[in-house]
Structure formats: structure tokens, C-alpha cells
Amino acid sequence: MKRVLITYRLKPEGLTVLNDKYELTLPKDRSFFSREEVLELIPEYDVLVPNFSFFTDKEIMDRGVNLELISNFGVGFNNIDVDYATRKGIVVTNIPKTTREPTAEFAFALLLGAARRIGYYDRKIRTPQGVSWGTYTDAGLPVFGKTLGIIGMGRIGQSLARRAVASGMNIIYNNRNRLAEDIEKQYSARFVSKDELLKTADFISLNAPSTPETYHMIGEKEFYMMKQTAVFINTARGDMVDEKAMLKALKENRIWAAALDVFENEPHILPELLELDNVLLAPHAGTKTLEDRIAMSVEMAQNIVGFYEGTYPISRVN
């Protein structure tokens, strides 16, 4: 019987496919195992299930002398040293299907929330000084008829585009490779260079994967290329953005607002970001509904069963 070490306390209803043939270990009296606990436990296990915030590095893989599979609980896999796993002969999988729609849904919610200043209004209306009810004071931005620039037009980017088109937005995108013509037609999307996207989009959403090549792909130069009325949305990964450069652009009103679900050093957030009224913040909650998190567990567990038994297709990243 293969032994599976799950670093986070996942709900049992998402793990039923593993119950009979696999021995599961996961935290029972707290939310997660510490790194030290994983290092102590891992030598006895064949499978490791890290969540998207648990970094699985060389030390953990070297201690995992029986480790055959890392079944990541997340679509992004920058929390895993995939190159080293490949050298060790360890297969890495992720969960792209169940994360697609909730992440796109949340990205569009952030877009709307930042544009129409919903978070700002909610905060201010609760305070003793209140918020202006004037005709023009503290006005937001319209979304209908505006241009959304999507950096990374994969599954999530396309699902975001579908929502934006339904709201009357125009789509431009930048991708490692241009999409097929029939896919572009679905969204009336136009492929442009990254520079053109940054200069012309009213809303810019980062949906590309985090890799060594995309580290700080949005920095001071990129923020200063954006319109002063631009809204920047990030539901991808925090290390793709130079946070200090973003903070500077926001404080100097070089861009109009940012809406962020991920951060460079999460869960730690730059204190100055917390003080700005033109930032909408969320705690890496793009897939955070009970139904979606259970569905993610099912997909993750099916990767394990598919790897050992071949009964499900698996999503390999190496």
C-alpha cells in the first residue's frame, strides 16, 4: 500500500478515491504540517502532497528516499523545485482543470471591485467620517467598452476573457505563443506585443505561470508604460511583479489602481500597500470556495491514482 503525506488538512470528501488502496497521513488537529515535521516524516512516504504555499526543495526530496510522486495541490508549481525532482526521477503533477473557473471568476471580481472602488466605499462608509455621496467625488472607472489586456492567455486567461467579453470589454493579449485563429475569434481577441498591451490596455491582468523567466516581468519600466488610468490585476504569482516598483507607481498615481490576490513574500504584505486606498487586497483566495477546494482535492487525488493505476489521466509538469 502506497503511503501519501498530505501537508495540509484537506477535507475527507475530496480524498475518497484514495481511501481503500492508499495510506494517508495529514494534520488532524491543526491546519498544516510544519516544514520540520515534513522533513521528519517524508522518508517513509511514496507520495507528497504540498499545497501551493509549501516549498518542496532539494532537502525535502533528498530526505524522501522513497518519494516517487509530488501531487501538488495547486495549478502553479513554483513552490516545487521541478528541475531537481526531474533529476531525482520524481514525477510532479498539478491541478489545472478545477482551478480554471474559480480563479478567472475571482480575477474578474477583483477587476470590477477595483474599477468601481467597491472595497474603498465599503471601508469608508463604515467609518465615523463616512464617504462622499457627491456626484463626482471618489468616482470609479467604467468597465463596459474598455480594453482588457491579458498577459498569459492559457486556460485561466481565456476564462477571464469570456467573462470580460460578456461585460462588453475588448480583449488584447500577450502570450508565449499566439493562439489558434479559432480561439482568438471566440473572444474577438487580438495578439499584441507586451509593450503594446501595457501602453494601450485599460485593465491589465497577469495570468502567466511563474518561472525563472517570468520573475519580476512587471517592474518599474512596465508600470511606467501603463496608462495613468490603468488597473493592474494579479491572480498569478507574486514573484512575477516587483512589488516595490508597483508600490511606487501606486503612490505616485502612475497607475490608477491595483487588485492583488498574490504577493511576492506571502503571507507577508508590504505594510505600505495596506495603507493605500487605490489597492484591493485578497489572501490568495482565487479558488477559495468550499466546493472548488473539494474539487481540487479530487483532481489531486485522481493524479495519484492515475499515476499508480492508470485509471485517470494525470497532469504531469515534468
Query: Which residues are part of the catalytic machinery?
Result: 237, 266, 284
Rounded Cα distance between 274 and 285, Å, is 17
Nearest to 175, CA basis, from 202, 230, 214, 123: 214
User: What three-state secondary structure class fits 44?
Assistant: helix
Residue 170, H or E segment: strand 170-174
Please report, for residues 102, 249, 287, 312, the alpha-carbon distance to residue 74 in angstroms, rounded to integers and kept in the order given: 12, 30, 9, 18
**Residue given cell 526530496 in the structure block:** 61
**Residue given cell 497532469 in the structure block:** 315
Q: How many CB atoms within 10 Å of residue 64?
A: 25
Nearest to 202, CA basis, from 170, 160, 230: 230
Going by the DSSP 8-state scheme, the letter that residue 87 receives in this structure is: H
Rounded Cα distance between 39 and 35, Å, is 6
Burial class (CB within 10 angstroms; exposed 0-12, middle 13-18, buried 19+) of 120: buried
Given a contact cutoff of 8 angstroms between Cβ atoms, the answer to whether 153 and 172 are in contact is no
Beta bridge partners of 69: 47, 91
Rounded Cα distance between 234 and 282, Å, is 10
Rounded Cα distance between 119 and 133, Å, is 16
